[in-house]
Amino acid sequence: MDEPRTAAAPTLLVTVSGDDRPGVSSALFDAIADVGSEVLDVEQVVVRGHLTLALLLAPAEGDHARLEEAVGAVARGLDLDVRFESGTGDNAPRRTGRVAVVLLGAPLLASAVAAVTARIAAHGANIDRIRRLSRYPVTTVEFDVSGADVLSLRRELALESHVHGVDIAVAPAGLARRGRRLVVMDVDSTLIQDEVIELLAAHAGREAEVAAVTEAAMRGELDFAQSLRERVAVLGGLPVEVLDEVRASIQFTAGARTLVRTLKRLGFTVAVVSGGFIEIVEDLARELGIDHAHANRLEVVDGRLTGRVVGDIVDRAGKAEALRRFAAEAGLPLSRTVAIGDGANDLDMLEVAGLGVAFNAKPVVREQADTAVTVPYLDAVLYLLGITRDEIEEADAADGTPTPAPPIASR
């Protein structure tokens, strides 16, 4: 094996730009091969058909001029612009403190991007690469950053998120961003658009009353366990068949099926935990192929709801404990878990998880979560994990799953 070149060895940086077309890279490398050179680095990006290709080469001694002449001839023949820069050595080693900053907006305005990049620079970090993850239903870009501290940069960028009305996630990069994970979701107003207990209360003519209590509990103004007992009490006497009627009326949140389908393709473990009822939640989980479901159980006597729950109530502490249990069963550390929720009873599991995502959440939850998604598409969480829209659609196309394009979100 050849010895690696020394830091003082001469190198040549070649930057080519112009209209993209098949065969550009092949023609350039054929010309380079004819002269002979070691390839130290290559990076290419195409934006709306415009190609930018950067090559870091280590020519043999005395071959710089021949290499420039050969590459220049190909570039002229393809009507491309080319620039040469002589230097020494390879790229400087990347600093530690690698993080991924994901910026999501609908629309994503230049003012928001400017503010985020300025904050990263002021933090003393460097943006090494940028790529677009999605264009619809929201625009998402990912910054590959080095020299940053996750927690402090997350706090700093939270200010820009609030000012510019965009969602920003900051997470460790590198190997920490890859591999299997556990994703745990709340159900009501997260996986589904509805609040199940309100749908049940409608059958008892008490929907408005129960909805008001639910709203206060989700804001963290009421003890969840006590408020649940009060709300369940109004269901006493309803025939058990109302559960089937409510289940039939439930609507999944936009993007819920895509989120779960994609996570399962990646080999992730997916779970739902709910302060609602297992009689509904278990069926939803089964339909989507979700691995675990944990929720309260309604007491039924002689075919009617008694207005009570059986066993311990699944409150905020219970949700966090379920996440820990699912992680242990999957053999995953908590750092490889993601929790998604919208209410105050989700706060403990959002804190315990490696990444806590507030999904269209109450203010108290947005303030305490690691990041927030404020567009109405649950599959936007995939972008926070570094998964691109193209990858999702390619996987769907491969197995014939239709993925209609949703409308552009507006705030």
Tens digits of residue pLDDT in 77-119? 999 999 999 988 887 777 788 999 999 999 999 999 999 999 9
Residue 1 resides in a domain: no
Mean pLDDT to the nearest integer, 318-347: 96
Q: Indicate if 138 and 241 belong to the same structural domain.
A: no
pTM: 0.86
Q: In this model, does residue 226 exceed pLDDT 70?
A: yes
Mean pLDDT to the nearest integer, 254-277: 96
Q: Indicate if 80 and 160 belong to the same structural domain.
A: no
Q: In this model, does residue 222 exceed pLDDT 80?
A: no
Look at 343 and 61; give whichever has higher pLDDT. 343
Helix residue ranges per DSSP H, 49-185: 64-77, 110-122, 150-164
Q: Indicate if 204 and 168 belong to the same structural domain.
A: no
3-state secondary structure of 139: strand
As a whole number of angstroms, the distance between CA 183 and CA 359 comes to 14
Q: How confident is the model at residue 409 (pLDDT cuts 50, 70, 90)?
A: very low
* Residues constituting the chain: 411
Residue 406 resides in a domain: no
Digit-coded pLDDT (tens) for 147-188: 999 999 999 999 999 899 999 999 999 877 888 999 999 999
* Domain membership of residue 131 as a residue range: 99-178
The CA-atom distances, in angstroms, between 298 and each of 97, 183, 213, 218, 279 are 48, 26, 19, 20, 8
Residue 94 resides in a domain: no
Last residue of a domain, one of 138, 159, 178: 178
Would you state the pLDDT for residue 406?
54
Mean pLDDT to the nearest integer, 373-388: 95
Maximum Cα–Cα distance across the chain: 93
As a whole number of angstroms, the distance between CA 25 and CA 43 comes to 11
Would you state the pLDDT for residue 63?
86
Digit-coded pLDDT (tens) for 181-203: 999 999 999 999 998 888 888 88
Q: Indicate if 296 and 336 belong to the same structural domain.
A: yes
* Angle (CA) 179 183 185, round 5°: 170
Q: Indicate if 311 and 376 belong to the same structural domain.
A: yes
Residue 20 resides in a domain: yes
Q: Name the nearest CA neighbour of 279 among 371, 368, 199, 210.
A: 199
Total domains in the chain come to 3
**CATH code, domain carrying 340:** 3.40.50.1000
Catalytic residues: 186, 188
- According to DSSP, the β-strands at 126-134 and 139-146 are antiparallel
- Give yes or no for a contact between 355 and 339, defined as CB atoms under 8 angstroms apart: yes
Average pLDDT value for the chain: 90
